[in-house]
Amino acid sequence: MSRTGVAATAGAQQGALEKLASRVLELANKEGADAAEVSLSRSSGLSVTVRAGELETVEFNDDQGFGITVYKGNRKGGASTSDGSEASIAETVRRACDIARYTEPDDCQGLADPERLAREPVDLDLDHPWPVSVEEATELAKRSEAAALAESPQIFQCDGAQVSTGQGLRVYATSNGFLGSVVSGRHGLSCVAIARDNTGMQRDYWYTGSRRHDLLEDPEHVGAKAARRAASRLGAGGVSTTTAPVLFVPEMASGLISSLLGAISGGSQYRKASFLLDSLGSAVAASHLSIEEQPFLPGAMGSGWFDSDGVATTAKPFINKGEVASYLLGSYSARRLGMTTTGNADGAHNVVVSGNTRPADDLIKDMNRGLIVTELMGQGVNGVTGDYSRGAAGFWVENGEITGPVEEITIASNLKDMMMNLVAIGDDPDLRGGIRAPSMLIEAMTVAGG
- Phi, psi for 321 (deg, rounded to 5): 50, 45
154 and 36 fall within a common domain: yes
Q: Please give the span between the terminal C-alpha atoms of the chain, in angstroms, as a whole number.
A: 50
Question: Has residue 14 been placed in a domain?
Answer: yes
pLDDT band at 200 (very low <50, low <70, confident <90, very high): very high
Q: How far is Cα 205 from Cα 222, in angstroms, rounded to an integer?
A: 8
212 and 245 fall within a common domain: no
209 and 294 fall within a common domain: no
Query: What predicted TM-score, i.e. pTM, was given to this entire model?
Result: 0.94
Residue that is last in its domain, among 165, 196, 231 = 231
pLDDT band at 84 (very low <50, low <70, confident <90, very high): confident
Question: Please, are residues 93 and 80 in contact by the beta-carbon 8 Å criterion?
Answer: no
Tens of pLDDT, residue by residue over 407-417, are 999 999 999 99
Question: Has residue 1 been placed in a domain?
Answer: no
Which residues 6+ apart lie within 8 Å of 316 measured at CB? 292, 293, 325, 326, 342
Question: Has residue 283 been placed in a domain?
Answer: yes
pLDDT score of 196:
97
Tens of pLDDT, residue by residue over 351-392, are 999 999 999 999 999 999 999 999 999 888 999 999 999 999
Question: Has residue 2 been placed in a domain?
Answer: no
pLDDT score of 5:
45
Question: Has residue 191 been placed in a domain?
Answer: yes
Query: How many domains does one find in the chain?
Result: 2
Q: What is the mean predicted confidence (pLDDT) over 284-313? A: 98
Q: How far is Cα 314 from Cα 294, in angstroms, rounded to an integer?
A: 7
Mean per-residue pLDDT of the chain: 95
447 and 386 fall within a common domain: yes
Residue that is last in its domain, among 180, 210, 231 = 231
Residue that is last in its domain, among 198, 231, 264 = 231
283 and 382 fall within a common domain: yes
The DSSP string of 66-121 is EEEEEEETTEEEEEEES--SHHHHHHHHHHHHHHHTTSPP-TT-SPPPGGGB--S-
Query: In sequence order, what E strands does 211-285 have?
Result: 242-248
Question: Please, are residues 252 and 441 in contact by the beta-carbon 8 Å criterion?
Answer: no
146 and 17 fall within a common domain: yes
179 and 30 fall within a common domain: yes
**C-alpha triplet 138, 141, 142: angle, nearest 5°:** 85
Q: What is the mean predicted confidence (pLDDT) over 238-264? A: 97
Question: Has residue 323 been placed in a domain?
Answer: yes
pLDDT score of 449:
85
Supply the range of the domain harboring residue 322: 236-450
269 and 147 fall within a common domain: no
| CATH number for the domain harbouring residue 194 | 3.30.2290.10
343 and 303 fall within a common domain: yes
pLDDT band at 7 (very low <50, low <70, confident <90, very high): very low
Tens of pLDDT, residue by residue over 409-449, are 999 999 999 999 999 999 999 999 999 999 999 999 999 98
218 and 343 fall within a common domain: no
Question: Please, are residues 36 and 175 in contact by the beta-carbon 8 Å criterion?
Answer: yes
248 and 223 fall within a common domain: no
287 and 268 fall within a common domain: yes
Question: Has residue 71 been placed in a domain?
Answer: yes
Q: Which of 65, 66, 92 is nearest to 77 (CA)?
A: 92
Question: Has residue 4 been placed in a domain?
Answer: no
